[in-house]
Structure 1
Amino acid sequence: MAQNKHIREQRALRESLYLRLEDIATVAASFQTEPENHTVRRMLEVRSESVKNIYDDILKIHGDIVMKVATLPDSNLDEEHAFLKRVDETYFTIQSIVRELPVQFRSSAQSPVADKTSIVQTSKTRLPKLNLQTFDGKLENWSAFIQVFNRSIHDNNTLANVERFEYLLGCLSGEPLNLIKTIVLSDDNYPIAYKTLLDRYDNKRELATHYWDRLRSLQKLKDETPSGLRSLIYNFNENLSALRALKIADSLEDFMLLNILLEKLDSKTRRYFEAEIRNLKVCEKDHIIYRCPVLKAKSPADRFKVVKEKRLCINCLRPHQVKNCSSTSTCRTCHKNHHTLLHFDRFSGSSGAINETSDSGNTAPAEIVVPTVNALASSLSRQVALLSTALVDVHDSQGHPHTLRVLIDNGSEASFITVKAARNLNLKRQHDKIQIQGIGANSSIFSSGSIHCKISPHGSCQPAIHLEAHIIPHVASVIPSQSLQFYSWDHINNLKLADPNFYISRHVDLLLGADVYAQLIRPGLVLAPSPRCPSAFNTIFGWVLSGSVQPEQTNERVINSFHVKIMEDCPENDLESTMRQFWQVEEVPMISTSPDDELCEKLYVEGYSKLPSGRFVVPLPFRDSKPVFPESKDIAIRRFFALEHRLKKDPVLKQSYIY
């Protein structure tokens, strides 16, 4: 009876552990259904850490139960075997789903991984595991940290923004972590967090001042030692190289002279100066605002917008109101009361038409009215071209359809799919890499692999076509380039459109190129009755529209061109080339042996012998010429006199030394 009671208690304990395992399996199933749900993914990440321990405890208790049940009369272990099979299925199902998590989310319960700052490249070129440098807020570490992070994470097109955000959080500590840790973890918030760090730490002038202060504070050599001299030269070159690399100003000499002058200012005056510099800065360099190349490259209307945002005077571009300006200069082009950089021809046909003049040219104080870009653009008549878009069903690895928006374009030699769409389909990826060449024969990007998929009309399984789609970050900008008013054209009123919302500006997930174009087309063409409305042609997905339409007046226009060529002979990947150069530089050089080394080796090989006692006898090589030891005679004489003096003081030691 006592044994039966113990078995029941063990079974109850085992069942409670199994219920915990089932709860984790439920979370894992939710993640498999909604892989983009960050809350579910985080929950699975945390709870999966205990999966292995729960499974081990169940096996331990189960083994104890089996041993006890086996000793009972008329024992039957079928029930125990069935329970163990159920546990194994649940456990391995969880494990298979957890493996779908990105590398940085997998816990040690599934497979040992490195520290949170370790990353493993998942691109086609397998690189060694890299340990990202952490950043704790010290300015001298910022440049090295941001360069490594940008190269490994920020510019890695195989990572989603939320994954980049995770890596970024793992690389920070102290003040930098406190700056962004309250930002919600999401794709949209990664650029915000990244820009927050750049705004705080990527201040080239502050970094340059830091290196300049370190140069000025180098300690003077106290002793004439080689190590001290080497240390001084190393520290000097290190800070000077870092200062030059920042390219803080047009001239390094100007920057140094400026800092020498700032050191002579009182604290209050310097604080006012720094506040004005921050207010006037348009780019990263330190110069007067009307000499800023970034500002001069903008259109006059954009310059005016910058001036207003920074609350500067439109006469002299200084931080005060126009009524308080003492400048008596006028515009050198029209002689009106505004700065020359803010002049533009209000009658020109383009908002970007400007007159480049000299840098100075301050104007007399007066409030003026500058026409905006929208006012100029409103007089322009522009058309928007509708491209052939359709809604289709693309089947994932489980055979379930996903509705994607496609662009049909026979100007492309291949078909393309976005990284996001390919990830949602979860189809087997071929790790091939092709170079994609766009209009103008410019080499633009590389694909990150390809998938084979089946597509069919939206809401129907037939007809279906199979195609190979190369994976790229984005197929195009939004199509059409701007949302249009809904038009009811008589010539297409009775047609079933493949994309009913063709007039709404949206992203495209898939581009169908010339490789499948012939399979899509069906007989049927409806020509446009006028140049301001589109034509329609028939496809297996329905009727698609193509042609020009007259939109509302706008100041922006984006032209999408999709003539794409596949380049088979791809140049070496930049990251791969950089890493190879790094290994070559860091490789320990091979040192060739000298003639003396070869002679010593020859004497050893030909002349060594072994005594019966087990010791080896090796001939000692001597040089034919007398070796030169600079200043060794004085050292030997001093040591001789020191020994002689010591022996005179200790007769016993002298007697032992002589005999």
Structure 2
Amino acid sequence: MAQNKHIREQRALRESLYLRLEDIATVAASFQTEPENHTVRRMLEVRSESVKNIYDDILKIHGDIVMKVATLPDSNLDEEHAFLKRVDETYFTIQSIVRELPVQFRSSAQSPVADKTSIVQTSKTRLPKLNLQTFDGKLENWSAFIQVFNRSIHDNNTLANVERFEYLLGCLSEKLDSKTRRYFEAEIRNLKGEIPAFDTLNTFVESQCHVLAAEHSTSLKSNTYTSKNNNTFTSRPKLVSSLVANTSKQKCLVCEKDHIIYRCPVLKAKSPADRFKVVKEKRLCINCLRPHQVKNCSSTSTCRTCHKNHHTLLHFDRFSGSSGAINETSDSGNTAPAEIVVPTVNALASSLSRQVALLSTALVDVHDSQGHPHTLRVLIDNGSEASFITVKAARNLNLKRQHDKIQIQGIGANSSIFSSGSIHCKISPHGSCQPAIHLEAHIIPHVASVIPSQSLQFYSWDHINNLKLADPNFYISRHVDLLLGADVYAQLIRPGLVLAPSPRCPSAFNTIFGWVLSGSVQPEQTNERVINSFHVKIMEDCPENDLESTMRQFWQVEEVPMISTSPDDELCEKLYVEGYSKLPSGRFVVPLPFRDSKPVFPESKDIAIRRFFALEHRLKKDPVLKQSYVDFMRSVVLIKDDSSPPLHWRVGRVLETHPGSDNVVRVVTLKTALGTLKRPVVKLCPLPYSL
């Protein structure tokens, strides 16, 4: 109970800090609207100095709250994640606007700990406009560029770090190229939406330098090229890199010719299984096809088809019905190593056709916890017993999650995955609130691969030209966020069916979202074929395999036993929560934990009186004890209180008397349980005693 109170206090403190952050965001928005307003700019400059401290305090308090909430039995961290997302958006919005300030203002705003002298000096420093050399990414130009930049900018002590950074940005020609950026996104896919650290990017860039340098060192040859206009020969420029020590030619270990093994036509002509046998016989690494063990491999490349740790040439699907050679792509100088296309099948199939199936997709509005609509792409499939939603979409909706676990069984009766919970959501047609359907969607990592299996050129068929499609961009290969199964299928269908005039055109049927397409189309070129099957069955009784059952038993044996509470303990806790109070002195008063009511002790008064008289009789026998008792009883009095009955008057002991000018005592100082106080003598009542 005390922990819940602490969480409420921490949340209130966190909310007050966030309100300060929102105030600064309002000033930043005003500056963005009126950049020429000097008052707003100066206010933003001053207030932005505290943004970082406020943000750090919020993160610290937020971490404490998350740790406390996680220990509660019915913990739900979705609300905390949503709050942190709002804080991050506000903070980074402020930072992006602060960067629009002029350099002299921004440097002072981002360095609040600097003294005033250094700030004034930085704002007054001006460098003449320099035509610095732009670095184009070529290694042979790096040495000259870095020397000029160090002398002009980096070693200039009069420049602030922000100004050096601005000069550096002006010297760069472009960001990562699109191909390298795709490799980096594939490298960080396991981060699950987290922002990668700079060390991760730096390590990736260094590894890419090694890979590219090694590739060029083995593929570039000192060939000469003949001009069409004359017989002059010019040599191809040679790449010089300090990252490569050996530039000698490599012989293929399969056919012993002068080419890299993954370009070997003999190896490519074999099936994936035969290639794997050759690699094992030659004792090559299955990841980079070089003569070393897998544990010593430094390559960060993965399979282009399944993104697992093996070479693309060694990828084969155990469900593939074909055992022949794999279709190869054109082998050009700009093609990445081992970049071939392998047909894969997600379901059991005996043959692969060149047609691409269009599945029933639509764009719908799904309402979040605040009632705001989110546009999601859904797949309508009556072959599924339930509806499913991706983890990413469920997180964005921020709806209350039910922590239930079901087993999802696909085609072939193969147990595949378990859901991580479910949510209840409301869906409606895109851009409209009615009609609305309520459904329960089970949360899984991914609903399906991209649909359709490959992007198509825009098709315009005469039989559907006048129909309002539920998914206008049906021909673009994209991911699906939500699968609507047989539990809501009947509520989606509306009268209307347009059959395909030929086998190469899709049919259309009407739904509450609009017309959806279903059927096969003939693409112009098909290099990759993927069949998606969405027949899904829910297993109510989830059988566990031997490994999972063994691990579960192990954790149950090692689990810390739960301390059970008795009904009496629960009653005591309830009595404490409902009945405790705090006195003005700071002490707490707690009621006694009687089960029914206060007990009644009959005839106890006579017993107490007899014991009191026996005590006084014993004191009479000892003169010293008698006198001490009398002195004490004379100093103990009852303090009269007109607002309460006599039996509720407080007891006090006289510490000091205050006689007047006539030596008559009218005021005394008393000691009580709550402290010392002064009272007139007429407000005191001495205790009776018989000695």
* More deviation, 582-591/78-87: 78-87
Indicate if the aligned counterparts of 1:343 and 1:354 stay in contact, CA closer than 8 A. no
**Cα distance between partner residues in 2 of 1:96 and 1:435:** 45
1:518-537 C-alpha deviation (Å, 9 max, x unpaired): 11101000000111101100
Measured at CA, do residues 633 and 548 of structure 1 come closer, stay the same or move farther in structure 2, by a change above 3 Å? Answer: same
Where does structure 2 lack aligned partners over 5 or more consecutive residues?
Answer: 193-253, 630-691
Measured at CA, do residues 378 and 456 of structure 1 come closer, stay the same or move farther in structure 2, by a change above 3 Å? Answer: closer
Measured at CA, do residues 506 and 269 of structure 1 come closer, stay the same or move farther in structure 2, by a change above 3 Å? Answer: closer
Q: How far is 1:403 from its partner?
A: 0.6
SS of equivalent to 2:173: helix
Measured at CA, do residues 595 and 93 of structure 1 come closer, stay the same or move farther in structure 2, by a change above 3 Å? Answer: closer
Indicate if the aligned counterparts of 2:451 and 2:479 stay in contact, CA closer than 8 A. yes
Measured at CA, do residues 267 and 565 of structure 1 come closer, stay the same or move farther in structure 2, by a change above 3 Å? Answer: closer
**Cα distance between partner residues in 2 of 1:446 and 1:537:** 32
**Cα distance between partner residues in 1 of 2:8 and 2:2:** 10
SS of equivalent to 1:73: coil
Q: How far is 1:552 from its partner?
A: 2.3
SS of equivalent to 2:121: coil
SS of equivalent to 1:12: helix
- Percent identity of equivalent pairs: 100
Q: How far is 1:167 from its partner?
A: 35
Task: Say whether residues 1:321 and 2:293 are aligned partners.
Answer: yes
Q: How far is 1:485 from its partner?
A: 1.5
**Cα distance between partner residues in 2 of 1:81 and 1:275:** 25
Q: How far is 1:488 from its partner?
A: 1.1
Measured at CA, do residues 60 and 266 of structure 1 come closer, stay the same or move farther in structure 2, by a change above 3 Å? Answer: closer
Q: How far is 1:395 from its partner?
A: 0.6
**Cα distance between partner residues in 2 of 1:19 and 1:612:** 34
**Cα distance between partner residues in 2 of 1:362 and 1:293:** 18
Matches within 5 A, 1:186-585: 299=271, 303=275, 352-353=324-325, 382-572=354-544, 577=549, 580-583=552-555
Indicate if the aligned counterparts of 1:450 and 1:471 stay in contact, CA closer than 8 A. yes
**Cα distance between partner residues in 1 of 2:59 and 2:300:** 90
Q: How far is 1:264 from its partner?
A: 50
Measured at CA, do residues 402 and 299 of structure 1 come closer, stay the same or move farther in structure 2, by a change above 3 Å? Answer: same
Indicate if the aligned counterparts of 1:330 and 1:336 stay in contact, CA closer than 8 A. yes
**Cα distance between partner residues in 1 of 2:278 and 2:562:** 58
Q: How far is 1:384 from its partner?
A: 1.0
Measured at CA, do residues 321 and 143 of structure 1 come closer, stay the same or move farther in structure 2, by a change above 3 Å? Answer: same
1:80-105 C-alpha deviation (Å, 9 max, x unpaired): 99999999999999999999999999
**Cα distance between partner residues in 2 of 1:590 and 1:133:** 69
* More deviation, 447-456/553-562: 553-562
* More deviation, 124-133/278-287: 124-133
Q: How far is 1:571 from its partner?
A: 3.0
Q: How far is 1:581 from its partner?
A: 4.1
**Cα distance between partner residues in 2 of 1:3 and 1:600:** 18
Q: How far is 1:555 from its partner?
A: 2.9
Measured at CA, do residues 116 and 638 of structure 1 come closer, stay the same or move farther in structure 2, by a change above 3 Å? Answer: farther
Higher fraction of helix: 1
**Cα distance between partner residues in 2 of 1:601 and 1:76:** 25
Q: How far is 1:334 from its partner?
A: 32
Indicate if the aligned counterparts of 2:407 and 2:540 stay in contact, CA closer than 8 A. yes
**Cα distance between partner residues in 2 of 1:654 and 1:603:** 45
Indicate if the aligned counterparts of 2:285 and 2:294 stay in contact, CA closer than 8 A. yes
**Cα distance between partner residues in 2 of 1:302 and 1:13:** 65
- The TM-score, its normalising length taken from structure 1, stands at 0.39
* More deviation, 640-649/138-147: 640-649
Indicate if the aligned counterparts of 2:345 and 2:531 stay in contact, CA closer than 8 A. no
Indicate if the aligned counterparts of 1:337 and 1:368 stay in contact, CA closer than 8 A. no
Measured at CA, do residues 50 and 377 of structure 1 come closer, stay the same or move farther in structure 2, by a change above 3 Å? Answer: same
Measured at CA, do residues 600 and 120 of structure 1 come closer, stay the same or move farther in structure 2, by a change above 3 Å? Answer: farther
Larger Rg over CA atoms:
2
Indicate if the aligned counterparts of 1:338 and 1:368 stay in contact, CA closer than 8 A. no
Q: How far is 1:19 from its partner?
A: 8.4
**Cα distance between partner residues in 1 of 2:609 and 2:464:** 111
Q: How far is 1:595 from its partner?
A: 39
SS of equivalent to 1:523: strand
Measured at CA, do residues 124 and 56 of structure 1 come closer, stay the same or move farther in structure 2, by a change above 3 Å? Answer: closer
1:248-292 C-alpha deviation (Å, 9 max, x unpaired): xxxxxxxxxxxxx99999999999999999999999999999999
Q: How far is 1:487 from its partner?
A: 1.3
Indicate if the aligned counterparts of 1:528 and 1:534 stay in contact, CA closer than 8 A. yes
SS of equivalent to 1:61: helix
* More deviation, 140-149/403-412: 140-149
Measured at CA, do residues 423 and 49 of structure 1 come closer, stay the same or move farther in structure 2, by a change above 3 Å? Answer: farther
**Cα distance between partner residues in 2 of 1:71 and 1:347:** 45
Indicate if the aligned counterparts of 2:356 and 2:521 stay in contact, CA closer than 8 A. yes
Measured at CA, do residues 478 and 129 of structure 1 come closer, stay the same or move farther in structure 2, by a change above 3 Å? Answer: farther
Measured at CA, do residues 604 and 484 of structure 1 come closer, stay the same or move farther in structure 2, by a change above 3 Å? Answer: closer
* More deviation, 431-440/290-299: 290-299
Measured at CA, do residues 597 and 654 of structure 1 come closer, stay the same or move farther in structure 2, by a change above 3 Å? Answer: farther
Indicate if the aligned counterparts of 2:378 and 2:483 stay in contact, CA closer than 8 A. yes
Instruction: Tell me what 1:78 maps to.
Output: 78
Indicate if the aligned counterparts of 2:342 and 2:528 stay in contact, CA closer than 8 A. no
SS of equivalent to 1:121: helix
Measured at CA, do residues 365 and 486 of structure 1 come closer, stay the same or move farther in structure 2, by a change above 3 Å? Answer: closer
**Cα distance between partner residues in 2 of 1:588 and 1:607:** 33
Measured at CA, do residues 291 and 432 of structure 1 come closer, stay the same or move farther in structure 2, by a change above 3 Å? Answer: same
Measured at CA, do residues 583 and 491 of structure 1 come closer, stay the same or move farther in structure 2, by a change above 3 Å? Answer: closer
The number of residue pairs the alignment matches comes to 568
1:183-203 C-alpha deviation (Å, 9 max, x unpaired): xxxxxxxxxxxxxxxxxxxxx
Instruction: Tell me what 1:655 maps to.
Output: 627
Indicate if the aligned counterparts of 1:389 and 1:502 stay in contact, CA closer than 8 A. yes
**Cα distance between partner residues in 1 of 2:517 and 2:272:** 39
**Cα distance between partner residues in 2 of 1:132 and 1:627:** 94
SS of equivalent to 2:473: coil
Indicate if the aligned counterparts of 2:154 and 2:164 stay in contact, CA closer than 8 A. yes
Q: How far is 1:415 from its partner?
A: 0.5
Measured at CA, do residues 110 and 481 of structure 1 come closer, stay the same or move farther in structure 2, by a change above 3 Å? Answer: same
Indicate if the aligned counterparts of 2:409 and 2:417 stay in contact, CA closer than 8 A. yes
Instruction: Tell me what 1:165 maps to.
Output: 165
**Cα distance between partner residues in 1 of 2:460 and 2:436:** 31
SS of equivalent to 1:375: coil
**Cα distance between partner residues in 1 of 2:64 and 2:347:** 84
Q: How far is 1:385 from its partner?
A: 1.0
Measured at CA, do residues 294 and 445 of structure 1 come closer, stay the same or move farther in structure 2, by a change above 3 Å? Answer: farther
Indicate if the aligned counterparts of 2:262 and 2:337 stay in contact, CA closer than 8 A. no
Indicate if the aligned counterparts of 1:382 and 1:550 stay in contact, CA closer than 8 A. yes
* More deviation, 633-642/535-544: 633-642
Q: How far is 1:582 from its partner?
A: 3.9
Indicate if the aligned counterparts of 1:433 and 1:449 stay in contact, CA closer than 8 A. yes
Where does structure 1 lack aligned partners over 5 or more consecutive residues?
Answer: 172-260
